[in-house]
Amino acid sequence: MTNKLRDLVHPGRLASVMSAHNPLSARLAELAGFDGIWASGFELSAAYGVPDASLLSFSQHLDMTRAIVERVSTPVIADLDTGYGNAVNVMHVVRSYARAGVAAVVIEDKTFPKDTSLLAGGRQDLVRIEEFQGKIAAARDAGSGHDLLVVARTEALIADLGLDEALQRAQAYSEAGADMILVHSKQKTPEEIIAFARRWHGETRLVVVPTAYPDLTEDGIHELGNIGMVIYGNHAVRAAVTAMRQVFAEIRADGGIRNVDKRIVTVEEIFDLQRVAEMKATEQSYLR
């Protein structure tokens, strides 16, 4: 089976990827025209109302991811956090995600249990470079029969270790076989990421998550020349919270749903997203 994502991240092209926390949000991202779906650990944690700190299990995230893959045809990129342990855990976990049909896995170089990256004062400890190289090599071997992209994510900038350390790690992970390097930054402006991209002369293309520095647009990212993918890391859950807050407040204020009813999607639109018509066609064919 060929991996559609490979064609979307080639030099000269920037793949635009949206987060999701369930098949419904993934389907909406697909309908909006995104190139890929980010099966986000942060979003799933938020959906469960718990911190993104390795509290949910690998199987909970895998269940969500499998459900997403089953309902969209857009490539799915799975957020594997730290890989749930050492290289042995990574191998086990990556095999499961590959069987679930994801196009790529992303594994980050933090210690397990992790703390979420953008939390001020968060616990950001990194594993040794050699240890993480072993995890990347294990992920590659586990995914080899599935044409899976392995994305190595360095949290060196998140951990305040500086550009040199981030570049050294990116180089080491690339040598270990990573197909792409995700470099995360918590700076409120894009200078740090721009400096990283300018100093990166490796062949391996980069991935960025501009949550903290929203002023960097796709045009600006594309101009840097060596970034193949932008992931909007948490915009599905933030959009959902924004919309629910507004609608719930309006219903409370109005003492009913009469006003709000005109502004929200109809029940029929939800039926469409559920593909009820497909089920009805199946009924026609098979129910006797």
List the catalytic residues: 52
- CB nearer to Mg ion: give 208 or 224: 208
The entry of ligand SPV, Mg ion, none near residue 47 (CB within 5 to 8 angstroms by kind) is: none
Question: Which amino acid belongs to residue 216?
Answer: L
Inter-residue contact 208 to 220 (CB < 8 Å): no
43 near Mg ion, rule: CB under 5 A: no
Q: Name the minimum Å distance from CB 117 to ligand SPV.
A: 4
Candidates 36-44, 96-104, 219-227, 255-263 — which segment interacts with ligand SPV by CB under 6 A? 36-44
Question: Cα angle vertex 21, ends 15, 22, to 5°?
Answer: 105
Candidates 9, 200, 211, 235; binder of ligand SPV (CB under 6 A) is: 211
Alpha helices in the chain (DSSP H): 4-8, 23-32, 41-48, 58-71, 87-100, 129-143, 162-175, 191-199, 218-224, 235-254, 267-273, 276-286
Q: How many CA atoms lie within 13 A of 169 on its CB side?
A: 30
Q: Binding of Mg ion at residue 79 (CB under 5 A)?
A: yes
**How many residues contact ligand SPV, by CB under 6 A?**
14
- Would you give the end-to-end CA distance of the chain in angstroms? 36
Is residue 154 at the binding interface for ligand SPV, with CB under 6 A as the rule?
Answer: no
Alpha carbon distance 110, 117 (integer Å): 10
The least CB distance from residue 155 to ligand SPV, in Å, is: 8
Q: Are 183 and 193 in contact (CB under 8 A)?
A: yes
Which position among 36, 41, 83, 210 is part of the footprint of ligand SPV (CB under 6 A)?
A: 41
Judged by beta carbon distances under 5 to 8 A according to partner kind, the member of Mg ion, ligand SPV, none in contact with residue 53 is none
Phi, psi of 81 (to 5 degrees): 50, -125
Q: Near ligand SPV by CB under 6 A, which window of 39-47, 93-101, 133-141, 259-267?
A: 39-47
The first and second tokens of residue 116, run together, are 């979420």
Q: Which does 65 bind (CB under 5 to 8 A by kind): ligand SPV, Mg ion, none?
A: none
> Which span sits near Mg ion by CB under 5 A: 33-41, 123-131, 148-156, 160-168?
33-41
Ramachandran sector of residue 203 (left: φ over 0; alpha: ψ -120 to 50; beta: rest): alpha
Q: Which stretch binds Mg ion (CB under 5 A): 13-21, 37-45, 151-159, 222-230?
A: 37-45
Query: In the complex, which residue's CB is closest to ligand SPV?
Result: 42
| Shortest distance in whole angstroms from residue 48 CB to ligand SPV | 13
- Cβ partners under 8 Å of residue 111, min gap 6: 82, 125, 126, 127
User: Taking CB under 6 A as the rule, which mask of x and - marks residues 14-33 in contact with ligand SPV?
Assistant: -----x--------------
CA 288 to CA 20: how far, in whole Å? 38
- What minimum distance in Å lies between the beta carbon of 281 and ligand SPV? 36
Q: Does 41 bind Mg ion (CB under 5 A)?
A: yes
Nearest to 182 by CA among 159, 201, 210, 160: 210
Which residues are at the interface with ligand SPV (CB under 6 A)?
19, 40-43, 52, 79, 116-118, 209, 211, 233-234
Which residues are at the interface with Mg ion (CB under 5 A)?
41-42, 79
